[in-house]
């Protein structure tokens, strides 16, 4: 009976972890470029049950030769194997903001955080007072030559990640211009966005603020293959890849499984109480 209680408890613990994952997915369904987390379970090792007498001597049925006949397998519950991130492409939404950039395909932007370079799929950038393209928290977007510094209405990001400016206006934020005035008479290549990937993205570590950090399992950052190079879209944002209907179904499923394990524990607890309070008194 105690084994049944432990098995039910392991199931409840596993379902609690999955519920936390589903709740986190639903909470971030509207977050730019958020990637869904998936919980994977595995069964605990099973044990074989053999039929024996109370004194431990095997009981051989008529015509049998096995000194310890096999009854069957007994499960010992389940546990969380891993929580991995699905990097499926999210829907692309047009915003018409020059600071918004989306990646259509595999790859990540590189952002210089306080803890070092970090990967991100979120392209919701802003221009700070120094003309740097930064995240809402102030971390600069990195190009191959360093942080991207541009002027308002004087930069174009092409689909291959190249950042072009009008040299006649320059990239000094004090030289403000408008799209109507800027004639692009002297376009020059300023820099190219750093677009990086890893060998095993599912093993990247989420570190908050839509950032990912590499792990020994994911491998180090490396440039994307030119054959599989993604498309960089200025004026777009990538939506999350969370399917709200699927997550609601998962939540209902988790609740049902949690309740089933809870009822199993209650049943075993009642049987154990009956054994202690009634049977052993006789």
pLDDT digits (tens, 9 = 90+) for 218-256: 999 999 988 889 999 999 999 999 999 999 999 999 999
Cα-Cα-Cα-Cα dihedral sign, residues 109, 112, 118, 121:
negative
pLDDT tens figures, 166-184: 998 888 887 878 888 888 8
Question: What does the pLDDT read at residue 208?
Answer: 86
* Mean per-residue pLDDT, 122-127: 95
Categorize the per-residue pLDDT at 76 as very low, low, confident or very high, splitting at 50, 70 and 90: confident
Categorize the per-residue pLDDT at 147 as very low, low, confident or very high, splitting at 50, 70 and 90: very high
d(CA 197, CA 168): 35
Question: What does the pLDDT read at residue 63?
Answer: 57
* Mean per-residue pLDDT, 147-158: 93
Question: What does the pLDDT read at residue 50?
Answer: 75
Categorize the per-residue pLDDT at 270 as very low, low, confident or very high, splitting at 50, 70 and 90: confident
Residue 168 contacts by C-beta under 8 Å, 6 or more apart in sequence? 183, 185, 186
pLDDT tens figures, 4-62: 788 888 889 999 999 999 999 999 999 999 999 999 998 888 888 777 765 555 555 55
Calculate Rg over the CA atoms of the chain: 29
Longest dimension (CA), the chain: 101
Q: For the whole prediction, is pTM greater than 0.95?
A: no
**Residues paired with 156 in a beta bridge:** 164
Question: What does the pLDDT read at residue 66?
Answer: 60
d(CA 196, CA 267): 54
Question: What does the pLDDT read at residue 215?
Answer: 94
Q: Tokens 């309740």, residue?
A: 259
Q: How many residues does the chain have?
A: 282
In terms of Cβ atoms closer than 10 Å to its own Cβ (0-12, 13-18, 19+), residue 142 is buried
Sequence ranges of the domains in the chain = 2-86+242-281, 92-238
Question: What does the pLDDT read at residue 1?
Answer: 55
Question: What does the pLDDT read at residue 5?
Answer: 82
Share of the chain above pLDDT 70, in %: 92
* Mean per-residue pLDDT, 82-91: 93
d(CA 13, CA 19): 10
* Three-state DSSP class for residue 63: coil
Question: What does the pLDDT read at residue 48?
Answer: 80
pLDDT at 165 over 70: yes
d(CA 264, CA 258): 10
């Amino acid at each position: 009976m105690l084994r049944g209680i432990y098995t039910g408890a392991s199931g409840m613990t596993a379902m609690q972890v999955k519920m936390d994952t589903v709740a986190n997915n639903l909470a971030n369904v509207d977050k730019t470029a958020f990637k869904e987390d998936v919980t994977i379970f595995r069964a605990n090792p099973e044990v074989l049950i053999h039929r024996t007498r109370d004194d431990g001597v095997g009981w051989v049925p008529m015509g049998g030769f096995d000194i310890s006949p096999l009854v069957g397998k007994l499960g010992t519950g389940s546990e969380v194997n891993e929580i991995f991130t699905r990097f499926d492409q999210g829907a692309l939404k047009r915003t018409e903001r020059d600071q918004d950039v989306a990646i259509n395909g595999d790859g990540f932007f590189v952002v210089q955080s306080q803890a070092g370079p970090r990967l991100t799929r979120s392209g919701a950038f802003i221009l700070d007072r120094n003309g740097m393209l930064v995240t809402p928290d102030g971390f600069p977007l990195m190009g191959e030559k360093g942080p991207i510094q541009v002027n308002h209405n004087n930069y174009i990001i092409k689909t291959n990640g190249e950042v072009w400016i009008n040299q006649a206006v320059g990239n000094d934020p004090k030289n403000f211009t408008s799209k109507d005035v800027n004639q692009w008479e002297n376009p020059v290549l300023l820099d190219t966005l750093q677009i990086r990937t890893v060998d095993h993205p599912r093993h990247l570590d989420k570190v908050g603020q839509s950032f990912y950090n590499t792990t020994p399992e994911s491998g180090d950052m490396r440039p994307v293959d030119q054959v599989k190079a993604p498309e960089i879209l200025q004026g777009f944002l990538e939506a999350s890849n969370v399917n709200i209907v699927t997550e609601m179904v998962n939540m209902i499923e988790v609740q049902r499984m949690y309740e089933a394990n809870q009822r199993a524990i209650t049943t075993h607890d009642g049987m154990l109480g009956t054994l202690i309070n009634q049977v052993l008194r006789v």
